[in-house]
């Protein structure tokens, strides 16, 4: 049982590390999207991540292409591509922290999918972690003015929320996939598949981009490289490994740390500000993550016994 709990701890650690990296990505993406359209940014991010990850597998002699012949794999890539395209469109309309909040509403949808479609027992602690996470994140973003949630960024917020719904489907599909596929293989080829699905996405940029700022600069290249190497190849690898140790609904709550990191980075860049209310929201979010971690550790013995993970 000690080894099982150690495995859960490793999964929690990997997921939280991915959340920190993804949290940093929102402000980086925001900078990049000032110069590169959403379709181009998404395509290049996954093309770079795919080349890096599959190249590493090739060096290790593990570049098996079997996944590319699976229909479910391409459905997985399509969900990921669509979600990222929606997120980048949303970021041209709203702030990095608000985008992080609304894409992470997927935590609720993941929990519902697990319960309704896979008949997985949720339990009061799991639901409480999801609810606390969303409440804490909402307080963190809205602050002491509830009217802020209905501000001029509403369209961007709704697009980000739609991305969160698509990601919930991707989340659960990926969770099922890591039960039977090697996590490193799955992550690496998903990058390649996502880039393939996004090949035509740059054609949408004239309608989706910020026309007054488009243009290739060293800053744009740096943002894309960071997104491709750090927040794709590295962060996705950590998250996919985490899914081999914790349930998708727990992983979704742990990833809410993205919102806290995105907010802190945005504060550091002068785009947001923190007061006592925001700090209280951050504290509630931390409690939710701690509760989700406890639930994951409690899951570990049962999950191993059932050979689910």
User: Are 53 and 245 contacting, i.e. CB atoms less than 8 angstroms apart?
Assistant: no
First to last CA, the chain: 14
User: Are 172 and 113 contacting, i.e. CB atoms less than 8 angstroms apart?
Assistant: yes
Position 304 scores a pLDDT of: 38
Position 301 scores a pLDDT of: 44
User: Are 99 and 91 contacting, i.e. CB atoms less than 8 angstroms apart?
Assistant: yes
Residue closest to 102 by CA, chosen among 152, 138, 128, 70: 138
Residue closest to 156 by CA, chosen among 195, 103, 114, 211: 103
Residue found under tokens 């999207």: 33
State the helix-helix crossing angle for 123-142 and 96-103, rounded to 10 degrees: 160
Q: Is 215 helix (H, G, I), strand (E, B) or coil?
A: coil
From CA 221, how far away is CA 105, in angstroms rounded? 30
Residue closest to 110 by CA, chosen among 94, 128, 96, 122: 122
Position 28 scores a pLDDT of: 86
Report the predicted TM-score, pTM, of the whole model to 2 decimal places.
0.76
Longest dimension (CA), the chain: 58
The per-residue pLDDT string of the chain (309 residues; one tens digit each, 9 = 90 and over) reads 444 455 678 888 888 899 899 888 888 888 888 888 899 999 999 999 999 999 888 887 777 888 888 999 999 999 999 999 999 998 888 777 777 777 776 666 776 676 666 666 666 776 777 777 777 767 766 665 655 555 556 677 788 888 988 988 898 888 888 888 888 889 899 999 999 999 999 998 888 766 555 667 888 889 999 999 999 989 988 888 888 888 776 777 778 788 778 878 877 776 666 666 666 776 776 677 666 666 655 655 444 333 333
Distance of CA 192 to the CA centre of its chain: 17
Indicate the domain borders of the chain: 2-305
Residue closest to 109 by CA, chosen among 159, 40, 179, 165: 165
User: Are 262 and 100 contacting, i.e. CB atoms less than 8 angstroms apart?
Assistant: yes
């Amino acid at each position: 049982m000690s080894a099982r709990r150690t495995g859960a701890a490793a999964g929690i650690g990997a997921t939280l590390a991915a959340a920190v990296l993804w949290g940093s990505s929102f402000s980086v993406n925001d900078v990049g999207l000032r110069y590169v359209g959403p379709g181009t940014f998404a395509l290049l991010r996954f093309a770079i991540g795919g080349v890096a990850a599959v190249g590493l597998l090739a060096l290790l002699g593990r570049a098996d292409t079997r996944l590319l012949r699976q229909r479910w794999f391409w459905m997985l890539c399509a969900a990921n591509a669509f979600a990222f395209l929606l997120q980048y469109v949303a970021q041209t309309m709203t702030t990095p922290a608000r985008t992080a909040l609304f894409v992470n509403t997927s935590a609720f949808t993941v929990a519902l999918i697990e319960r309704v479609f896979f008949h997985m027992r949720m339990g009061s602690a799991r639901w409480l972690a999801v609810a606390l996470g969303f409440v804490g994140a909402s307080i963190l973003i809205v602050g002491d003015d509830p009217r802020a949630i209905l501000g001029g960024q509403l369209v961007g917020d709704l697009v980000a929320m739609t991305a969160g719904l698509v990601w919930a489907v991707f989340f659960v599909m990926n969770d099922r996939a890591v039960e039977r596929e090697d996590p490193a293989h799955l992550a690496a080829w998903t990058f390649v598949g996502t880039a393939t699905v996004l090949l035509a996405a740059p054609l949408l940029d004239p309608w989706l981009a910020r026309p007054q700022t488009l243009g290739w600069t060293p800053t744009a290249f740096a943002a894309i490289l960071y997104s491709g190497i750090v927040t794709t190849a590295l962060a996705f690898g950590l998250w996919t490994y985490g899914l081999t140790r914790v349930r998708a609904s727990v992983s979704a709550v742990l990833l809410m740390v993205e919102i806290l990191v995105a907010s802190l980075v945005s504060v550091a860049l002068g785009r947001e500000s923190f007061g006592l209310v925001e700090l209280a929201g951050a504290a509630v979010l931390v409690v939710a993550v701690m509760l989700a971690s406890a639930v994951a550790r409690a899951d570990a013995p049962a999950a191993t016994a059932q050979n689910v993970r």
